[in-house]
Amino acid sequence: MTDSLPAAPPLRPVPDMPLTANGARLRDAAMQIESLFLAEMLKSAGAGAAPGAFGGGIGEEQFSSFLIEAQAREMARAGGIGLAETLYRSLAGRADGR
């Protein structure tokens, strides 16, 4: 008998947001903020902390941080934790005077 974890639910994409110039810039900014947040969470969780994962040496820490940042960007792009959507809606509402 094998103990296996249930499959994680698929990542949900961020709903389509207005494609106006300001809307697109606001969406990109919200995605960048979520990406930075996720990168910090991954670093705190110890992702990429395996010693020797890149063969050791002086540049290992820098390259592992690049990997974590790339993973965080892809997570945010795939829907992340919903932070980008929440930020976007809040900021778009303020821009519209709500």
pLDDT in tens, 42-93: 988 887 666 655 566 777 777 888 889 999 999 999 988 999 999 998 888 7
Specify if 2 maps to a domain.
no
Specify if 27 maps to a domain.
yes
Specify if 37 maps to a domain.
yes
Phi-psi category of residue 79: left, alpha or beta, with phi > 0 → left and psi -120 to 50 → alpha: left
**Residue written as token pair 């965080």:** 72
More confident call, 87 vs 95: 87
Show the domain range for 83. Answer: 21-47+55-95
| Nearest one of 87, 85, 72, 86 to 36, comparing CA atoms | 72
Predicted confidence at residue 71, as pLDDT, reads 92
pTM exceeding 0.75: no
Give 42-76 as a DSSP string.
HHHTTTT--TTTT--STTHHHHHHHHHHHHHHHHH
Specify if 41 maps to a domain.
yes
| Nearest one of 19, 14, 61 to 34, comparing CA atoms | 14
